[in-house]
Structure 1
Amino acid sequence: MKSKLIAIGFIAAFTACQSSSEQSDHQANTTETAPVAGQSAVEDTESQKDVVKVAVGSPDHTTLVKALQAADLVNSLANAGPFTVFAPTNKAFTKLPAGTVEDLLKPENKEKLATILQHHVMTSALAADFFQDGQSMGMVDGTNVTFHIKGKDIYIGEAKIIGSVRASNGFVHIIDGVVVPK
């Protein structure tokens, strides 16, 4: 009887190991062929949009979205954050010298573009009314920006905040200019 139990136990263990081994092989094969996608690829129509999905959903931010893609920053900004993003509109990008955007979108300028875009991001979630006249704040690129209050308007550098959207991982402040690091 004892030898039958040992034999049954051995068969059960062998079958479990084989099944586990086949499962590991399947996972390894699946992992090798599966496309790599980050947080930005998560489909969720129920929750509040993150800062990237806010930009993607805006017809006024198609240039910004192209720039984020070219700089490979989409997944970073789709993470939990918190972030405060100052999002230039398409019209804001047209204020730059002719050819600037096209040049920045070239693969060889990826680092320069990433630096400019990171100059529009803070690693905290701050509503527009937080900013004070003359206040200097650090940006993700490692440099500071200065905020100004003119009447009821809030400016980051020379760019005016023209709207704000709360996102699941922070705030998106829509601005009418591109803030270039000095």
Structure 2
Amino acid sequence: MKKLFNHLMVGLAFVGFSCGGSSTENQSSGTEGAALNPGQSAVVDNVSNPNIVQVAVGSADHSTLVAALKAADYVDALTNVGPFTVFAPTNTAFDALPAGTLDDLVKPENQRKLRDILEYHVLLGVYKPEDFVNGRNLGTADGRSVTIAVAEDGSVTINGAKIVGTVSASNGIIHVIDQVLLPK
């Protein structure tokens, strides 16, 4: 037993030395370390059910949304566990914004404003179509709220943007909408 204990202690000492030694080749500066830890979005998993961002990346109708997520540095947030409900405007919805709006929003100096708009499209928790109740206000990730309207025909709008499709993801649900939601 004593011999087994000694072997374990030597093994642990070796692991501790090799993982936390003072060798400069194992250390990196702040900028190099950032490259080694790019975030959850860097995880490659082609087997599991795709997350919200992976679904958006795979949709030809959401390339503008994906570009906006990247410009706002919001990709990692939406690849996390969640669960999230995302109202995902189509490329056509972004095209309907006033001329120059999107070009202005993706500038580095407007990153926070763009992120606020994108967070306005996100709810914490999963809200399926059958969960939407006419007149209900739901809190968004940016601290504001959106209002649900359910028409007699069962169609649902969020602040006037119509849900035109719904897709499940591993970390939530995506409702494709026909307009960009702009906070007031």
When normalised by structure 2's length, the TM-score is 0.85
Amino acid in structure 1 at the alignment position of 2:150:
I
Q: Which residue of 2 aligns with 1:119?
A: 120
Q: Which residue of 2 aligns with 1:177?
A: 179
Q: Which residue of 2 aligns with 1:88?
A: 89
Q: Which residue of 2 aligns with 1:24?
A: 20
Q: Which residue of 1 aligns with 2:138?
A: 137
Deviation at 1:38, TM superposition (A): 1.1
Q: Over residues 99-133 of structure 1, what are the superposed CA-to-partner deviations in whole Å (9 max), with x where a residue is unaligned?
A: 10010000000010011000000000111221111
Q: Over residues 20-42 of structure 1, what are the superposed CA-to-partner deviations in whole Å (9 max), with x where a residue is unaligned?
A: 42442489745624522111111
Are residues 84 and 16 of structure 1, via their aligned partners in 2, closer, same or farther at CA, if it must alter by over 3 Å?
closer
1:64 and 2:60 aligned: no
Q: Over residues 46-81 of structure 1, what are the superposed CA-to-partner deviations in whole Å (9 max), with x where a residue is unaligned?
A: 111111111111111111011111111110110100
Q: Which residue of 1 aligns with 2:154?
A: 152
Q: Which residue of 2 aligns with 1:54?
A: 55
Partner of 2:54, secondary structure, is helix
Structure 1 window deviating more from structure 2 (30-39 vs 103-112): it is 30-39
Amino acid in structure 1 at the alignment position of 2:46:
T
Amino acid in structure 2 at the alignment position of 1:85:
V
Partner of 2:50, secondary structure, is coil
User: For the residues of structure 2 that align with 1:134 and 1:61, how far apart are their CA atoms?
Assistant: 28
Partner of 1:174, secondary structure, is strand
When normalised by structure 1's length, the TM-score is 0.86
Q: Which residue of 1 aligns with 2:167?
A: 165
Partner of 1:84, secondary structure, is strand
Structure of greater Rg: 1
Provide structure 1 residue ranges, at least 5 long, that are not aligned to the other structure. none
Partner of 1:60, secondary structure, is helix
Q: Over residues 157-176 of structure 1, what are the superposed CA-to-partner deviations in whole Å (9 max), with x where a residue is unaligned?
A: 11100000011111000001
User: For the residues of structure 1 that align with 2:114 and 2:147, how far apart are their CA atoms?
Assistant: 21
Amino acid in structure 1 at the alignment position of 2:182:
V
Deviation at 1:18, TM superposition (A): 6.1
